[in-house]
Structure 1
């Protein structure tokens, strides 16, 4: 931005519209200062651990991958359809750089599967 807080006149602007430096950069395809700041605020060591869940017939399953740099405990919660069929919760210890397959069985069918990290 120019001194005094004035905007930059865009080439070919209709009616002589003024644009801020961020808007001009966005139009030009360059990342804005706020996008660059947001990128800089992200932690480079953010864990990439995740769990994927699915239903396989009467089984609720999850595969959890640990890339956090340390050993973690993954959990699965399987909610059964029928009231008489008890819900299932299991855990597994997952070493850094490996994954675990967790599962739970429901006799009357699976309603929902959730998984995560303790």
Structure 2
């Protein structure tokens, strides 16, 4: 009698663990993907560069923004560029001196 209870308990534990793994796996698959291009931005001295790739079937419009560190140095915005499906673009902008912050916006 005890053996069948142990086997039943072990089978129940295995079934519950399997359903938890399956539920987490299906939830990960159902997670919505972002509808914007994936962009990486880096700063070297007074130059900022952004590299964007659009894995989505719809066009994304990206724009690089640069905030300069000096008060007299004007902040710069690159012109917006459309990134089509499976396309890659590179944006660049600069300040006269140091860059405080650089980021990409999506439209």
Q: TM-score, normalised by structure 1?
A: 0.66
- How far did 1:54 drift? 0.2
- When residues 32 and 93 of structure 1 are mapped into structure 2, their CA distance, relative to the original with a 3 A threshold, is same
- Aligned partner of 1:74 in structure 2 is 62
Superposition pairs of residues 57-72 of structure 1, within 5 angstroms:
57-72=45-60
- How far did 1:88 drift? 1.2
For residues 30-73 of structure 1, give each alpha carbon's deviation from its aligned partner in whole angstroms, at most 9, with x where no partner exists.
85243034134234x76472001001221111011112112221
| 2:29 paired with 1:50 | no
Q: Aligned with 1:112: secondary structure?
A: strand
Instruction: Name the structure where helix makes up a greater proportion of residues.
Output: 2
Q: Give ranges in structure 1 of 5+ residues lacking alignment.
A: 1-7, 12-17
How many pairs were matched up? 99
Q: TM-score, normalised by structure 2?
A: 0.72
Runs of 4+ residues over 4 Å off in structure 1: 18-21, 45-48
